[in-house]
Amino acid sequence: MLTRELPVYPYGAPAISGILKSTPADFQVSEELGFEPGGEGEHCFLLVEKTGLSTPELITRVAQDFSLHPRLVSHSGLKDKHARTSQWLSLHLPGKSLPARKSAGDGYRILRQARHHRKLRPGTHKCNVFQLCLREVEELPDQTIVQINLLTSRGFANYFGAQRFGRRQDNVKQALLKLQNRRLQRSRKSILVSSLRSYLFNQILTRRIGLGHWEKPLAGDVFMLSGSRSVFTDEINDDLLARYQQLDISSTASLYGEGRNQMADQAQAIEEQVFAQHEDITACLDRQGAKLQMRALRAVVGDFSYDYDAEKRNLRLNLTLPAGSYVTTMLEHFINLKDVS
């Protein structure tokens, strides 16, 4: 199937529904770098707050306001358009003083700026901090409370969210049709390649949940440290099982591509079954020269709290997620979402 399939969630189907992004203020997210810019170097880091702009649109406007080519403006994460967000950008300014600027532009304002010796790259930041308001939510039943407790204590299935597959959810189909076009813009090509790899990852995760191999390690797994992209292999023993239960480590699955894969045994067999069923996708990725990466099968929610207003039927949530995880994916473990943006 070439369109995105609905994920299988490990804690059962949601019992409630709610509306997401009624207003930008209902969806607030701020990017946390996890380090302080060094104070000197040829890159200028900007912490920018935006509303009603996608990250590519923000980059275009900042580049214009600073009289720079957009290629000289880098980002770490992509942030929602229909939201109030803050994120870091870096401007490459070798041997140059900071250009004159306004503290605010059309749809954005600059909160901080500092020099650093390296530019931002995708995934550089550590985490995202969310403040959310879900509207028209009925009283929370016991099932929902149980699901919330499970995902906060055991983690959640780290699916790529619907955003990864395009507005019409047809990026996989479009990728197979268009990636042979040499005139395709590099940014568009990157999006389509990412959609293919995300689709395969989601298929592997769905299969592992269905087989009961999600909340426990499997023979041949490659493990990832929480809060890190460091991976390793090890024998399954009492110490590893304890670290797994404490959410210190998680199993991973491949983001398909060229490279040495340390996976073996049962874990490898599951992936090979998925790849064999989607040879058109793997062949396309081979032609594009995609490079192997690993992604954790589960993600950990931090600093989670919620408050339900029965009179207004609003559910407010505060939480932190690691970079690369989708808050909509986390929410869909206990609530059916209607995004009205």
Instruction: Classify strands 16-20 and 335-339 as parallel, antiparallel or unpaired.
Output: parallel
Query: Does residue 75 carry a pLDDT above 80?
Result: yes
Is the domain of 240 the same as that of 158? yes
Structurally, the chain folds into a number of domains equal to: 2
> Around Cβ 310, how many Cβ atoms within 10 Å?
10
Q: Which of 26, 65, 80, 248 is catalytic?
A: 80
Is the domain of 231 the same as that of 221? yes
CA 2, CA 11: separation in Å to the nearest integer? 26
pLDDT tens readout for residues 162-191: 888 877 888 888 888 888 776 777 778 888
CA 130, CA 341: separation in Å to the nearest integer? 17
Q: Note if 106 is an active site residue.
A: no
> Which value, in Å, is the radius of gyration of the alpha carbons in the chain?
21
Q: pTM for this one?
A: 0.90
End-of-domain residue from the set 100, 124, 148: 124
Is the domain of 111 the same as that of 186? no
First to last CA, the chain: 27
Is the domain of 209 the same as that of 150? yes
End-of-domain residue from the set 124, 151, 183: 124
- Tell me the mean pLDDT in the region 276-286: 94
End-of-domain residue from the set 61, 91, 124: 124
CA 304, CA 168: separation in Å to the nearest integer? 31
The whole domain housing 264 covers: 1-34+126-341
pLDDT tens readout for residues 14-57: 999 999 998 999 999 999 999 999 988 999 999 999 999 999 99
Is the domain of 253 the same as that of 117? no
Is the domain of 83 the same as that of 170? no
pLDDT, mean over the chain: 91
Is the domain of 179 the same as that of 278? yes
